[in-house]
Structure 1
Amino acid sequence: MVETCTACGVPLMVSRELNWEANGVISLTASPRNRMVFFESETIDHVFRGIEELIGVPIERIVIESRSRETRRYIERAFPPEVRRIIDGSESGLEGRMAKMSPEERETLLATMRAITGSIIDIAKNYGYGEQILSELWEQGADFPWRVQRVRNPYSVLFFVADNLGSVEAFEGIEMQARYEKTGEDTYRSEVFPGEHALELRERLKRRRYDFKPGDVHYERCPQCGIPMAVAGRKWDVEAGTIVDPGTGRRMAIFGPFSADAVFDDLESELGEAIPETVIEATRRYIRSAWNTENWNRDGLTFQQMIAVRGLGYLARFEGDRHGLEMLVQNACLHLPMVGTVQALVEMAYRVEASTCEWELADDGDLSIAVKVK
C-alpha cells in the first residue's frame, strides 16, 4: 500500500527520496549527484514520434535501451545486492537453478519475487507511471512471471517497456531484450526475454556529469512532508498511477533525465549533426500544437519557478525586449527539449508563427538560449 502525506496527499516515498533544491535540481536523497525531473510526460512519446517523422528513421530500439539503463541503475540502488541475488542468473543460470528447485523452494522464490514486483509497481504509481498490473503468468504458474508486465495509462509507452526491461535486468543480472503489444484502450503488455543488447549502443551511451551550482529559488513547502506546494498542487491519483496538473489538464511524471539525453547523444552519433536541431524542432512543433490555447506572456520569476519545479535547472538570466528573449539556465538537463519548449513559448508569448533560435550548452551545465522573433 502506498503511504501519502496526510497534509498534502503526495506519496511519502517522493518526499523521502527526492529533494527539490534551491538550484533547480531535484536530487536523490541517497545519491545527491543523481537527479530526476518532474515533467509533462505526454511530451516524451510525442517528441520521439516527431523525431521519427522528421528523419524518417525508427528510433524505438535506442529509446528503450537507453531508458532501461537508467531504470536498472535505479533498481540496483533501491534494492540491496542480497535481495537481488535471489534470482541472479549471471553466474549459474536461473533457468537451470529453477529446474532443480524443490516445490517449496520454487514457492518461496515466486512469493519473494511477487512481493518485489509489487514494490516496483508501487514505485511506478508514486512517480506517475500509470496503473501497472501483475501479469497473468503469476496465476498460471509460469517460471518467470516477473518478465511480463501490464499497464493502463502509461506515462510513456516506450519508457514503460524500458522500465520493465531495466528492472528485470537488475535482478537477473543478465542482458535482456523486450517486446510489447497494445492489448486494449491505452493498455499495453510488455515481455522481457534473454538476449544481448546492440553492441554499438553499449559502447556509446554515456552520462553527462558536472558539479551543480548554487541557486536561490524559494519554494512554499508542505509543513508536514516538505514537498513544494507547487508540486503538491498537482492532482495525485496513486491507484491510477497518474499525476495531473489541474491548471492545464496535462499529465506529469517523475523520471531520470539522463536516459533521454543519452538517446539524443546516440542519435547524433548514429545519424549525424542535424539531430539536435531535429529534437528541438520536434519539441517546438509539439508544444505549439498542444499548448497553443494558453497565455504565455510570462515574466522571469514565473519562468524560474516553472523550470525549477520541474528540476530542469536554475534560471540565472532572463532578458527580453520586443525582438525576443535571452536566458541562461544553470545546472541544465534535457537541454534539447528545453530549447524547443522555450522557443515555442516565446513564439506564443509574442504571437508570431516563427523565430530563430541560437543555443549553447557548456561543459559546466550552463545552457544559453537566444530566441529572436520574426
Structure 2
Amino acid sequence: MLDVKLCEECKVPELFNREIAWLDNGDIVQRTNQSARATFIECETIDPLIKNIGDIIGVSIEHLIINITARGSQLYNENALPDLVRQMIRSKQIDLVPIAQAVGMRGQLMGYGKHEWIDHRYENDQYDFSIQRITKPFSLPIMAGNYAGALAAAVGGEHAVIYEELTPGVYQFKSQWAKYHNELKKRMAIVPYKHVSAGLDLERCPICGAPMLLAEYQWQGNEGLIKHGDTGRRMALLGPQMMDPVFRALEDELGETIPQIVVEGQRRFVETGFPFLDLEKSDEDLRLQLALRGLGNLQEFELSDKRMGLKLNNACLHLLLLGFMQGTFELTFDVKSDIDWSLSGEGELEFEVTAK
C-alpha cells in the first residue's frame, strides 16, 4: 500500500506539490528544472485523440508518440535523478529495483495508474529486459514512452517498450534495448521554457502553498488516479515536451494540415459528451482554471451563442486547448462551428470560434 502524506488543509500529496511549481503567469514548471514546463490536465481525452488523428490521416501515430515521449521523459527523469545515483545504478553499486519502484510511486501520485515492478535483467547485453504491470494507465503509448525514458535516464541507452492487456484495464509493459533513427532524434529536440512574469496570483494553501483549487481533486494514491471530486474527471501531470514535439514531427512528415487535424481530433472527442470547462462562468474563473492546468494566462475572452474569442499568453498544448474549447462551445450552444487561430513565436495564442 502506498503511504502518502497529505497536506492537512488542502489534502494534496506533499510529494506532488514538491515536484512542480505554479508560476505567476499561468505556467507550471518542474521545481528541479524550471526550464521544463508541465500541465495538470484532463487525460481521458489523450488516447481517443491519438486514435482520431490516426483515423483522419489514415495511419497510426502510436510509434511516434512512444518514441518522442521517451525523449521528453528521459530529460524529465534525468533532472529528478542525481548524477551520482545514475552512476551508481550503471556501475551496479546500488540495485535498480528500489529506484524503479520509487519512480513508479511518483507516477502513481501524478495520476499515471497503479505501477507494479515485476521482473528485470540488467547485464548490459542484448538479453536485458524489464517488465512492469500498470493498472488503468492514463495513456498506453505515452505510458510506454514514459517507461522507456525513465529507463534511459537510469541506465542510459535507448529502449523500446511493448505492451499487452492481461485483463481489462491491466497491462504488462516490457522493455528491451533499442536504437532510434537519427531523423527521429532530430525531431525529439526539446525547446527549453523561459519564464516571463505576469502577476497572475492563484489562491494558495496556507500550509503547503499549493493552489487551493487543487482541494477540489481527490488523490487515490494506491490506484494511481487523480479525480475531480464533483465531476469524476481524471487528471494527470503531463509535460508539453511529451506532446507538442509529436505534433511538430507529424507536421514535418505529413504536412501543414496536421495542426487542423489535431484540433479536429480533439473536437470530435469533446463532441461525444466531454465538455472542457463551463464557458458561461466568469472570465476570471476561466482564467484561474486555465492557470491551474498550466495552459497559460488568459488576457481576453468574449462569448455569445454566435461567437467565442480568446487571447492567451504563454500558451502551451495549444492544439489540445483549441479542440477542447471549440468542442465545448458546440456542446454549450448545440451548434456546429469553424475555428481560426494564430500563435506567435512568444506563445501568444488568439483564436475565434464562430457558429455555422
Secondary structure in 2 aligned to 1:227? Answer: coil
| Other-structure match for 2:17 | 15
Alignment of 1:47-86 (within 5 A): 47-86=49-88
| Other-structure match for 1:30 | 32
Structure 1: segments with no counterpart, 5+ residues = 90-104
1:297-319 deviation line (CA, Å, top 9, x unaligned): 33322221221110000001112
Alignment of 1:189-204 (within 5 A): 189-204=172-187
C-alpha separation in 2, matches of 1:184 and 1:120: 24
Query: Is 1:296–1:348's contact at 8 Å kept on the other side of the alignment?
Result: no
| Other-structure match for 1:355 | 337
Alignment of 1:293-332 (within 5 A): 296-332=279-315
Which of 160, 166, 169 pairs up with 2:143? Answer: 160
RMSD: 2.1
Q: State whether structure 2 residue 250 is matched by structure 1 residue 267.
A: yes
1:100-159 deviation line (CA, Å, top 9, x unaligned): xxxxx7xx64xx212111210121011111100011x26xxx547872211001111111
1:267 shift after superposition: 0.6
Query: Is 1:298–1:349's contact at 8 Å kept on the other side of the alignment?
Result: no
1:252-290 deviation line (CA, Å, top 9, x unaligned): 011211220000000111111111100000001101213
Relative to total residues, which structure has the larger helix share, 1 or 2?
1
1:211-254 deviation line (CA, Å, top 9, x unaligned): 44333433222221111121122011111110001222111011
TM (norm. structure 1) is 0.88
Query: Is 2:251–2:258's contact at 8 Å kept on the other side of the alignment?
Result: yes
C-alpha separation in 2, matches of 1:210 and 1:181: 35
C-alpha separation in 2, matches of 1:210 and 1:157: 27
- Give the letter aligned to residue 306 of structure 2: H
Query: Is 2:36–2:193's contact at 8 Å kept on the other side of the alignment?
Result: no
Secondary structure in 2 aligned to 1:287? Answer: helix
1:30 shift after superposition: 2.4
Query: Is 1:132–1:152's contact at 8 Å kept on the other side of the alignment?
Result: yes
Structure 2: segments with no counterpart, 5+ residues = none
Query: Is 1:179–1:192's contact at 8 Å kept on the other side of the alignment?
Result: yes
TM (norm. structure 2) is 0.92
Q: State whether structure 2 residue 346 is matched by structure 1 residue 344.
A: no
Query: Is 2:36–2:76's contact at 8 Å kept on the other side of the alignment?
Result: no
Q: State whether structure 2 residue 203 is matched by structure 1 residue 184.
A: no
1:292 shift after superposition: 5.3
Question: Against the structure 1 CA distance between its residues 294 and 16, is the aligned structure 2 distance closer, same or farther, given a 3 Å change threshold?
Answer: closer
Query: Is 1:127–1:254's contact at 8 Å kept on the other side of the alignment?
Result: yes
| Other-structure match for 1:92 | none
Pairs aligned (count): 350
Larger radius of gyration: 1
C-alpha separation in 2, matches of 1:345 and 1:208: 30
- Give the letter aligned to residue 145 of structure 2: A
- Give the letter aligned to residue 48 of structure 2: H
C-alpha separation in 2, matches of 1:189 and 1:321: 47
C-alpha separation in 1, matches of 2:182 and 2:168: 35
Question: Against the structure 1 CA distance between its residues 194 and 344, is the aligned structure 2 distance closer, same or farther, given a 3 Å change threshold?
Answer: same
Equivalent pairs: percent with the same residue? 32
Query: Is 1:304–1:315's contact at 8 Å kept on the other side of the alignment?
Result: yes
C-alpha separation in 2, matches of 1:151 and 1:319: 42
Query: Is 2:29–2:38's contact at 8 Å kept on the other side of the alignment?
Result: yes
